[in-house]
Amino acid sequence: MDGAPTQKSLTAAEAFDSVGPAYEDAFKGLPTQAAALEWLVQQLRDAPPPPSSNGETAAKTKKQIVDVGCGTGRPACSVLADAGHDVLGIDISEAMLAAARARVPNARFELIDVRAYLQREAAAGRQGTLDAVTVFFSLIAGVTQDDIRAVLAGLAGLLKPGGFLVFSTVPIPVNNEAIKWMGRPVVVSSLSPEEGVAAVQAAGLEVRYEGVTTFTPKGAEVGICAPDEVWEETHLFVYAQKPVAA
């Protein structure tokens, strides 16, 4: 991430609309995301089915999953839907969702901010209804540090006991900082690696894995920005699970 821009900052929706589906190509081949999805698919496959209303074990294997900030739907929604699950991708970018609906027809998509989504689900009493939630780099632009912590807590509340969260971010300790990202002026917030892990734990989840790696997006190669407007990023990945009630 670069220093403060001189032009007016874009909203998160404007920034991602301007990047468009090329975002997928810029981050294609991210090995840590592929590994996270492989882990999640395996956990969902191995998870015991819930008891049915009559106390017997249900045979249902299709899981309810939400991908927050789904972008073009690939790879997360695609991988999870192809594994046989009921996947909802939410995003604030019309351009990203148009691509997602075309590229991943076996998932559902909705234009909604995660904060509004959480308010709606809470009002509808849907806590404890999801088997998994994925959040790949979507709690950075247009949110505050308090938002990040509140969203993680809200998402944890939607998980069933034993449900899973996969969370990734660019772990820099900034709050409402104006920067240039892939040539675009945006306002971002994030948490340090230690703060990010602590936020997941504070949401009531048990951390199963945490790791910090680096990756350089192919922003210039796919025409999103100039070569001097992209750089190596640090990435934090956290896998977590909601405790199963005793």
Mean pLDDT along residues 60-79: 96
Cα–Cα distance, 164 to 155 (Å, whole number): 10
Residue 239 pairs with which residues in a beta bridge?
166, 209
Q: What is the DSSP letter of 102?
A: H
Mean pLDDT along residues 48-74: 77
How much of the chain is in helix, strand and coil states, percent to nearest 5? 35, 30, 35
Query: Does 213 score more than 90 pLDDT?
Result: yes
Higher pLDDT, 49 or 103: 103
- pLDDT for 245: 76
Euclidean distance between the first and final Cα of the chain, in Å? 44
- pLDDT for 60: 61
Mean pLDDT along residues 219-242: 98
Mean pLDDT along residues 115-137: 99
- pLDDT for 14: 98
Residue 136 pairs with which residues in a beta bridge?
168
Cis omega (within 30 of 0) for bond into 5: no
Average model confidence (pLDDT) across the chain: 94
Q: pLDDT per residue over 165-191, tens digit each? A: 999 999 999 999 999 999 999 999 999
Query: Does 9 score more than 60 pLDDT?
Result: yes
Query: Does 121 score more than 70 pLDDT?
Result: yes
- pLDDT for 61: 80
- Determine the residue type at 188: V
Decide if 64 contacts 131 (C-beta within 8 A). Answer: yes
Mean pLDDT along residues 224-243: 98
The CATH topology of domain 12-40+63-241 is Rossmann fold (3.40.50)
Residues 6+ apart with CB under 8 A from 35: none
pTM: 0.93
Q: Which of 233, 137, 179 is nearest to 10 (CA)?
A: 179
Decide if 238 contacts 196 (C-beta within 8 A). Answer: yes
Q: What 3-state DSSP class applies to 26? A: helix
Query: Does 54 score more than 80 pLDDT?
Result: no
Mean pLDDT along residues 34-58: 79
Q: Per-residue confidence at 59, pLDDT binned at 50, 70, 90? A: very low
